[in-house]
Structure 1
Amino acid sequence: MCGDCGDCGDCGDCGDCGDGEASAARLAAGVPLTAALDVADPHAWLALDAGARLTGRRRTSRLPERTTTTPLPAGSEPLDESRLALALCHRDGRVRERAVRRAAEHPGVLPLLVIRAADWAQPVREHARALLRRLLDVDTAVALTPLILLVGRRARGDAAVGLLGELLHGAPRERLGPLLVHADRATRRFAYRLATEQRLLPADELARSAARDEDAVVQTLCGEAAVAALDDPGAGALGDEVLAALLGARSPRVRAIGVTALRRAGRPERATPFLADRSALVRACARYVVRQHGVDPLPWYRRRCGEPGDPALPPGAAIGLAECGERADAALLWPLLAHPVPGVRARAVAGLRTLDVTDTPRLLPLLEDTAPGVVRETTMLLLPSARSLDPGRLAARLAPDRPRHIRAAAFRLLDAYGGLERLRAAVALLEDPDPRLRFRAEQSIRHWRPSADLPRGHPEAAELLRISRHLFSPREYRGRQWEIGTVG
């Protein structure tokens, strides 16, 4: 808890209370509000609210006595903005209530009025909400939207969010413009929900927003709204622009919306190239569209993968074949393991894993591939059969002069191998220059247990544990010694 009111303890978003204490100290020293904290940052207001209460509870508080005990004058004499801001954050609810009643004198403390509208004390909360309803207009609400949404996460923060919705509902799109491009993700979500509910944005602009925004919620909201807007009268001319923006988006989610919209637009043939998209979601949507058009995608995949020397073969074709093919289609994937494009090789291995086809002798050379993605996919395919591999050949790949991705794959397979080989490999990496490999080796040793085929009292196991004893507490180390039979 940052204070006695309980708000900060359950909101989880008050920011750094240390910064808030510093801001409160500056206000107590008479520094103007705009200089005491970053008034454009909603987290700074929440930190001030929490920090001022925290400072007020400490006996070592450096705030002037007038701030911690009698922060408000008894009558109606003038009250400076800094002192009023501190009073609005005071520990005592009666002080906060009196401060709320005078908040209209200084518009600069309006953000603190938003916070007090979610106050735990009912009188404070009710007076703050009434005053907020009287003072807020559309322009002010736009400026305070990030803070209102942040406070809205609190248990009693819904009133300000509801008032914000009332003020912005029906507002022209020009007023929402700053919110649609705001850096705060929650603010953009809120603004786009309002814009799509009121149909303020045309389909092409929605599609561009879906393709441009990095937030998944905004992408889905705008993408689906753009497709739905194509049904509006007069939107037919925008169809090509909307589809082009959606299909060319970087986000797989947006491309999937665009591919699915091709069926609705009566252009299912345009979904064919997306059968080999790099995203599994987009490939699945493309297969759905072409099937609804009466076309089986499997022959297309077989035809594309049947040309293993084609340098233009997209990697998604290999994994797409496995996603809708049969085990017999693995015959088309094996030649792709020698394709010059690393992505094709990696997706071909992933396709073999999807089809549950493994041929260890043919796959082992890929553990030496120059492409980390190929080695990673091969390792995942070989993990279930790690016990059938030669641990000596794997251990040789742990040498420091080998590329990191090869050494990481070898250790992963030896770790899955288990037994003494796993312990050997992990101890060999304890001095490795790569910190991530060292960490994995340490974790492997900590979780190591002797296998059933390890003879009790095995001297090498005892020596390996001795080398790594710094990873265990004395009690744990003695327990490991007992497990391998070196302590009776």
Structure 2
Amino acid sequence: MIWKLWRADRTTPPDERPARPPTEAAARDHGRPGATPHERPGRRLPGGDDRDQDPHGLTAALRAAAGRGDAGLQTAAALLIELDTTSAIRALGTELQLIIRLDDRARRWFWPADHPAKPVMGAASARLRDGDAGPVAIALASMHADGRIRQAAVDRMASAPDPVWTPFLVLRAADWVRDVRTPARTAVVDALAVADAPHLAAALDMSLLLRERQLGHFAHAQAVAGLVVARPPVRDALLLAGPAIRRRFVFALGQGLGWWSPERLESLARGDRDRAVRAGAAEAVCRAAVWSARDDLLRELTRSRYAQVRGLALTGLVRLGRYAAAAEFLDDPGDLVRAIARDAARRAGLDALAHYRAAVTALASPPPPTTADTAATSDNTTATATATATATATATATTGNAKSATANTTVATADVMVSTADVMAIAGLAEAGTERDAPLVHALLTHPDARVRAAAVRGSRLLGVLPVALLLPLLRDPSAAVVREASLALRPLPRAVPEALIPELLADARVEVRRAGYRLARARGAAVALRAGRALTDDPDPGLAARVRSDLATRADLPAPPHQNLRR
């Protein structure tokens, strides 16, 4: 019946068809009653261009709507069909996951007669049928449940090649209907034959998301073939910009085919924003540096802000036998870097554990008062402030001349100068030490610097020796990091925490303390967690309240208290 009505409408001459009433949105956009969709100022037909319109606001609106499930997708589709401009289709073309979700949901919207989103798809197909479809209407029509409408939309897109159509053509190239799939694949091949960056980027991005589908291999193979034969500037453009999935794929393919120069790899290793690309480039650079014995390049990479790059550079130094240089990073902020440095120290005949013990002991011992401090104490308040400012400036200048700014950041807390290397020495002692070193770490639980206290709690947990009496007061520590570490340390020992303390923590004014109380309540079992959840259902912090409500909805899945062999 639907097919008969559609065929009858198409065979009716245009001048005999009943005129569609102007939509409220069309009249509002044009500013006068009775305005038709043709007269909307923002409208662009295929081949038009309105790049001067900023689509960023629309992109944000689409992302916000898509995050609200099926209702949000309906809102996004309604917003797009109302605009129906080139800027709207460009904004949609940057959200590939949204396109795939719309394609999946659009067919389900068509069949229920009373579905709220059915008018949107009906408007798109009607505009396509009447020759009045804008770019968004054509794109939405290509997702219609009726294969004949999808085919007509593909034909319209193929007749006016443009990079904005490429993601939708790649999607239809994996269509289950042959009459839709064949012209879409032909259009994809024709678009990639141009061999320019916009078509290739759009095809590659969408094909990477669809390559696991049963019929998604064709478009992916065509995109890879286009990438292989592309000019080097096009490859560089695809590597340096775009989504992470594309950049990682292009880098891996280019690395296997030898596309990237040493200069390009060094640039990526020093500061690329993607972790996988940066790590792959750093590994290749460090391997080449080892083969060519370039100590200078490896030492330069050890000053990188990224721990992964520093670890690869240190590995290269170790392979070259530069053990003493690698052992200088025993106090590095990176866990893996410290482990590599300890191995280098062992090979160099150095005692890394003695280094950590000495550093932690010095941190626990307050520095002796100097002559300048004694004179400042006997002087007036102005002289005291001046002396303190001078000492701080001197220490900062000395730290600035250190080898690594990352490893030597110094902070003054309660007249105690603590550097990042001092804090990392605690972590190193916990990683390399034994339970006999626990008293050295426990002595720092009352240190005036919050970073030291947090590291001491974390170190006690790693050593497996938890002083419960010292950890309980830290559940109300002024530092949120210390509170979190204390709750994580006490979670494996739920019975060590007084049951009366949990309601007090849940009623605290600070959200980090309430989070710690809820974490400990969950460790005591489902009954205590249920009571704590009821108390925090309407918590002022939206994140904590959402987590509590989610836990209450799945109360049967609350984890059992962890069992660890920890020594008190």
TM-score in terms of structure 2 length = 0.60
CA displacement, residues 39-97 of structure 1 (integer Å, 9 cap, x when unaligned): 64253765775677567657664778995699599xxxxx9988876775554445655
**Aligned-pair distance for 1:107?**
0.8
What code does the residue aligned with 1:370 have? P
Alignment RMSD: 4.6
Give 1:313-462 correspondences, 5 Å limit.
313-392=421-500, 400=508, 403-406=510-513, 408-410=515-517, 412-413=519-520, 416=523, 433=540
Separation in 1 of the partners of 2:147 and 2:237? Answer: 36
Contact preservation (8 Å) 1:117, 1:129: yes
Q: Does residue 307 of the first structure (1) align with residue 414 of the second (2)? A: no
What code does the residue aligned with 2:185 have? R
Separation in 1 of the partners of 2:102 and 2:466? Answer: 61
Separation in 2 of the partners of 1:298 and 1:107? Answer: 67
Contact preservation (8 Å) 1:142, 1:176: no
SS at match of 1:354: helix
What code does the residue aligned with 1:138 have? A
Contiguous gaps of at least 5 residues in structure 1: 1-11, 74-78, 449-488
Separation in 2 of the partners of 1:279 and 1:173? Answer: 36
What code does the residue aligned with 1:38 have? A
How many percent of aligned residue pairs carry the same amino acid?
Answer: 32
Change in CA separation of 1:84 and 1:372 when aligned onto 2, cut-off 3 Å? closer
Contact preservation (8 Å) 2:324, 2:345: yes
Give the equivalent residue in structure 1 for 2:281.
222
Count of aligned positions: 422
CA displacement, residues 336-373 of structure 1 (integer Å, 9 cap, x when unaligned): 22333322222222222222213333444434432222
Give the equivalent residue in structure 1 for 2:271.
212
Give the equivalent residue in structure 2 for 1:133.
189
What code does the residue aligned with 2:161 have? P
Give the equivalent residue in structure 2 for 1:260.
315
Separation in 1 of the partners of 2:544 and 2:261? Answer: 52
What code does the residue aligned with 1:351 have? G
Q: Does residue 106 of the first structure (1) align with residue 160 of the second (2)? A: yes
Separation in 2 of the partners of 1:180 and 1:216? Answer: 14
Change in CA separation of 1:391 and 1:246 when aligned onto 2, cut-off 3 Å? same
Change in CA separation of 1:391 and 1:171 when aligned onto 2, cut-off 3 Å? same
SS at match of 1:201: coil
Q: Does residue 283 of the first structure (1) align with residue 391 of the second (2)? A: no
Contiguous gaps of at least 5 residues in structure 2: 1-68, 366-416, 557-568
What code does the residue aligned with 1:311 have? V
What code does the residue aligned with 2:305 have? A
Give the equivalent residue in structure 1 for 2:225.
166
SS at match of 1:336: coil
CA displacement, residues 184-220 of structure 1 (integer Å, 9 cap, x when unaligned): 1112112222332233334454344245344332233
Contact preservation (8 Å) 2:317, 2:323: yes
Contact preservation (8 Å) 1:138, 1:167: yes
**Aligned-pair distance for 1:328?**
1.0
Separation in 1 of the partners of 2:81 and 2:528? Answer: 61
**Aligned-pair distance for 1:324?**
1.8
**Aligned-pair distance for 1:298?**
2.1
Separation in 2 of the partners of 1:158 and 1:245? Answer: 40
TM-score in terms of structure 1 length = 0.68
SS at match of 2:330: helix
Change in CA separation of 1:87 and 1:349 when aligned onto 2, cut-off 3 Å? closer
Change in CA separation of 1:274 and 1:154 when aligned onto 2, cut-off 3 Å? farther
Contact preservation (8 Å) 1:114, 1:160: yes
Contact preservation (8 Å) 1:53, 1:91: yes
CA displacement, residues 81-126 of structure 1 (integer Å, 9 cap, x when unaligned): 8887677555444565576567653213444332222111245434
Contact preservation (8 Å) 1:72, 1:84: no
Give the equivalent residue in structure 1 for 2:201.
142
Deviates more, 1:377-386 or 1:178-187: 377-386
Change in CA separation of 1:156 and 1:42 when aligned onto 2, cut-off 3 Å? farther
SS at match of 2:208: helix
Change in CA separation of 1:120 and 1:436 when aligned onto 2, cut-off 3 Å? closer
Separation in 1 of the partners of 2:552 and 2:134? Answer: 63
Separation in 2 of the partners of 1:122 and 1:142? Answer: 25
Q: Does residue 16 of the first structure (1) align with residue 73 of the second (2)? A: yes
